[in-house]
């Protein structure tokens, strides 16, 4: 009860400071604040193909929790494409204790992390060699002049397709500053990977990459 009361105070303060309309705009809440309010959790089913390929990692999802505590909307923030659908399917079935602000239920927007880990010694039907290295290693990305003038730095996350020969095809922005996105996409399109292989056969894959822009000190 004490934790719930503190959350209500934080919600009320955030609403008053931002002047948000409770009936229309979800309230932004840190992910750690939602963990104690989870009432019903569904564990994601490990995708068979991802298990066979030894793919593991963390999927980050942006979610909107409705006034009744149901997960109303789910979108991918980052994570391996072979794992993301299973994470989304599970999260859509989660239920939370409703959030109350000014004596009224409110919608909440937050992020959820879903971890996929293979147990040591897990059996697989195949072995996948990940394109863990670029050949040759790419040069560091060039910070755009306008971004440099504005002292903008940070990471850009991209969703990319890599063909069977290791060439980068489709590139889409997942997250990052728009002033850095074009330079990041242009750089990644020039990358070449050691091909992914499964049981010795080269594959076309989808994955995410992170491009970091750092201003010289």
Instruction: Please write the tens of the pLDDT for every residue from 37-77.
Output: 889 988 888 888 787 777 888 889 999 999 999 998 999 98
**Other residues' Cβ atoms within 10 Å of the Cβ of residue 76:** 18
Same domain assignment for residues 45 and 108: yes
Same domain assignment for residues 177 and 209: yes
Q: How many CA atoms lie within 13 A of 105 on its CB side?
A: 9
What is the CATH number for 105? 3.30.2420.10
What are 122-163's pLDDT values in tens digits? 333 333 344 445 656 677 788 888 888 888 888 888 888 888
* Cα gap 12→10, rounded to integer Å: 5
Same domain assignment for residues 103 and 17: yes
Boundary-marking domain end, from 116, 139, 161: 116
**Other residues' Cβ atoms within 10 Å of the Cβ of residue 120:** 5
- The sign one gets for the Cα dihedral 62, 66, 72, 73 is negative
Same domain assignment for residues 132 and 71: no
Same domain assignment for residues 7 and 37: yes
Same domain assignment for residues 110 and 159: no
On average, the pLDDT of the chain sits at: 77
Mean pLDDT of 29-37: 80
* pLDDT at residue 36 in the model: 81
The answer to whether 196 and 216 have CB atoms below 8 angstroms apart is no
123 falls within a domain: no
* pLDDT at residue 198 in the model: 61
Same domain assignment for residues 110 and 142: no
Same domain assignment for residues 166 and 90: no
Backbone φ and ψ of 139, nearest 5°:
-70, 160
The whole-model pTM stands at 0.48
Same domain assignment for residues 188 and 105: no
Tokens matching residue 95: 């239920």
Same domain assignment for residues 111 and 183: no
What is the span of the domain harbouring residue 203? 128-213
Q: How confident is the model at residue 197 (pLDDT cuts 50, 70, 90)?
A: low
* pLDDT at residue 125 in the model: 34
Number of structural domains the chain divides into: 2
């Amino acid at each position: 009860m004490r934790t719930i009361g503190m959350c209500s105070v934080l919600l009320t303060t955030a609403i008053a400071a931002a002047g948000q309309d409770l009936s229309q705009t979800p309230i932004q809440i840190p992910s750690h604040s939602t963990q104690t309010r989870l009432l019903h959790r569904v564990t994601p089913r490990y995708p068979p193909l991802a298990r066979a390929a030894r793919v593991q990692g963390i999927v980050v999802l942006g979610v909107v929790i409705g006034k009744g505590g149901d997960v109303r909307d789910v979108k991918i923030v980052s994570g391996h494409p072979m794992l993301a659908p299973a994470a989304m399917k599970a999260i859509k079935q989660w239920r939370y204790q409703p959030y109350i602000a000014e004596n009224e239920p409110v919608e909440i927007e937050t992020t959820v992390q879903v971890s996929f880990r293979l147990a040591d010694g897990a059996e697989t039907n195949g072995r996948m060699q990940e394109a863990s290295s670029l050949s040759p290693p790419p040069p560091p990305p060039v910070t755009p002049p306008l971004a440099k003038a504005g002292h903008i730095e940070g990471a850009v996350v991209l969703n990319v397709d890599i063909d069977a020969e290791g060439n980068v095809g489709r590139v889409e922005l997942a997250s990052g500053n728009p002033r850095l996105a074009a330079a990041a996409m242009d750089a990644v399109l020039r990358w070449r990977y050691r091909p992914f292989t499964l049981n010795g056969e080269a594959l076309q894959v989808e994955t995410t990459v992170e491009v970091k822009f750092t201003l010289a000190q």
